[in-house]
C-alpha cells in the first residue's frame, strides 16, 4: 500500500455488521498493545473494558458520528489510530462517509473480521458492499476469518475461503494461530481489563488487601489468574500482530 501512513503510525478501522466476530478483541488485544502510543477510537454506545489504556489513549464516539472520527484523524497526524466501530453504529457511519467524498483517505485499511457461521458471513458481505458503496477501494479492505478451528460451525473452512476469494479482496487467515482471547474472560463474562498483559502481580497485591471486601478480593484473585494466562498468550499475539502488519503493507511489519 504505497500511500499508507508511516509504519509506526498506521490508521486501522475494524468493523463488521456482525456481533461477536472479534472486532473489539482485535482492536484492544491484538493492535493496541503493540503499537506505540495508539489512539483507540470506539464508535459505540459504551465500553465494557479499557484494555489498559489511559484516557489520553481512548476516545468514545457515540451514534456513528464519523465527523468526530475524521477530526481525530486530522488532529493526530503521525500517531497510530485504531477505530473500532460497533455493529449498531456501522450503517450511520457508512452513511456519513458516503456523504463526504474522500472521507476515508486518512484510513489505511478496513479490517472486517467474521466467523464461519452463516449469519456472520452474510453480515461480512453486507459490510463489504456498504464500504464499496462509499467508494472505498478493495485494496483497503482486508477480510479476517476468525475462529476457523471451531467445530460447531455451519460452514466449512473451504466454503468460507471461496466466498472471500469470490469477493476479490485480500484475506488475512492468521487469526487461528493463537488461542481465542475470548477464552480469557472473567466469570461474569467481562474481558480482562488489560491490553498489555502486565497486571498479574498488581491484582495479586490487590487480592491481599485486608481493607477490601471479600467479594473484591475474590475478584482481584480471579483477575490475577486471568492476567497470568494472558501473559502466556502474549508472544503468539505479538507474532500474529507482526504478520497482520506485514499483510497490510510489507513495511508495516516494522511497527511490531
pLDDT at 207: 77
224's grid cell: 490475577
215 or 64, greater pLDDT:
215
Tell me which of 14-18, 26-30, 60-64, 141-145 is least confident.
Answer: 60-64
- Half-sphere exposure for 154 (CA within 13 Å, toward CB): 6
Give the Cα separation of 191 and 200 in Å (integer).
Answer: 15
7's grid cell: 509504519
Distances in whole angstroms, Cα of residue 54 to Cα of each of 35, 68, 99 = 14, 19, 33
Give the Cα separation of 57 and 238 in Å (integer).
Answer: 20
When pLDDT is averaged across residues 182-194 and rounded to a whole number, the result is 38
pLDDT at 146: 80
Model confidence at 126, pLDDT cuts 50, 70, 90, reads very high
241's grid cell: 500482530
192-85-91 Cα angle (round to 5)? 145
223's grid cell: 483477575
pLDDT at 184: 38
96 or 110, greater pLDDT:
110
Give the Cα separation of 18 and 143 in Å (integer).
Answer: 13
3 or 190, greater pLDDT:
3
pLDDT at 180: 44
Give the Cα separation of 173 and 244 in Å (integer).
Answer: 9
Is residue 191 scored above 50 in pLDDT?
no
- Half-sphere exposure for 21 (CA within 13 Å, toward CB): 29
Sketch out the chain's domains with CATH numbers. 11-190+234-255 (3.40.50.300)
250 or 86, greater pLDDT:
86
pLDDT in tens, 84-97: 998 888 888 888 88
164's grid cell: 472471500
Helix H or strand E encompassing 3 = none
Is residue 48 scored above 70 in pLDDT?
no
When pLDDT is averaged across residues 110-137 and rounded to a whole number, the result is 90
Residue 145 Rama label (left phi>0; alpha psi -120 to 50; beta): beta
238's grid cell: 505479538
52-111-107 Cα angle (round to 5)? 85
Tell me which of 75-89, 96-110, 133-147, 218-232 is least confident.
Answer: 218-232
Please state, for a pLDDT cut of 90, what percent of the chain lies above it: 15
Is residue 3 scored above 80 in pLDDT?
no
3 or 135, greater pLDDT:
135
Tell me which of 37-41, 211-215, 241-245 is least confident.
Answer: 211-215
Q: Are strands 58-61 and 39-43 parallel, antiparallel or unpaired?
A: parallel
Give the Cα separation of 226 and 193 in Å (integer).
Answer: 10
126-242-198 Cα angle (round to 5)? 105
Is residue 17 scored above 90 in pLDDT?
yes
**Which candidate, 230, 232, 233, 256, places its Cα nearest to that of 243?**
256
Q: Average pLDDT, whole number, for the chain?
A: 75
Can you say whether the dihedral through the CA atoms of 90, 93, 97, 98 is positive or negative?
A: positive
Helix H or strand E encompassing 219 = helix 214-248
Tell me which of 58-67, 161-170, 175-184 is least confident.
Answer: 175-184
Amino acid at each position: 500500500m504505497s500511500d499508507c501512513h508511516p509504519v509506526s503510525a498506521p490508521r486501522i478501522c475494524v468493523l463488521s455488521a456482525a456481533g461477536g466476530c472479534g472486532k473489539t478483541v482485535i482492536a484492544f488485544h491484538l493492535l493496541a498493545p503493540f503499537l506505540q502510543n495508539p489512539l483507540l477510537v470506539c464508535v459505540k454506545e459504551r465500553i465494557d473494558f479499557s484494555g489498559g489504556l489511559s484516557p489520553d489513549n481512548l476516545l468514545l464516539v457515540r451514534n456513528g458520528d464519523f465527523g468526530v472520527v475524521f477530526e481525530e484523524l486530522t488532529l493526530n497526524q503521525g500517531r497510530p489510530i485504531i477505530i473500532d466501530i460497533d455493529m449498531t453504529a456501522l450503517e450511520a457511519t457508512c452513511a456519513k462517509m458516503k456523504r463526504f467524498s474522500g472521507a476515508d483517505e486518512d484510513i489505511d485499511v478496513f479490517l472486517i473480521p467474521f466467523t464461519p457461521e452463516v449469519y456472520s458471513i452474510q453480515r461480512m458481505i453486507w459490510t463489504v458492499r456498504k464500504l464499496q458503496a462509499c467508494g472505498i477501494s478493495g485494496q483497503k479492505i482486508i477480510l479476517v476469518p476468525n475462529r476457523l478451528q471451531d467445530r460447531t460451525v455451519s460452514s466449512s473452512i473451504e466454503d468460507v475461503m471461496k466466498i472471500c476469494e469470490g469477493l476479490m479482496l485480500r484475506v488475512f487467515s492468521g487469526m487461528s494461530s493463537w488461542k481465542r482471547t475470548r477464552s480469557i474472560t472473567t466469570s461474569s463474562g467481562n474481558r480482562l481489563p488489560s491490553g498489555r498483559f502486565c497486571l498479574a502481580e498488581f491484582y495479586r497485591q490487590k487480592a491481599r488487601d485486608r481493607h477490601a471486601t471479600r467479594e473484591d478480593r475474590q475478584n482481584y484473585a480471579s483477575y490475577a489468574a486471568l492476567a497470568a494466562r494472558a501473559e502466556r498468550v502474549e508472544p503468539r499475539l505479538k507474532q500474529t500482530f507482526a504478520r497482520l502488519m506485514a499483510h497490510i503493507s510489507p513495511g508495516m511489519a516494522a511497527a511490531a
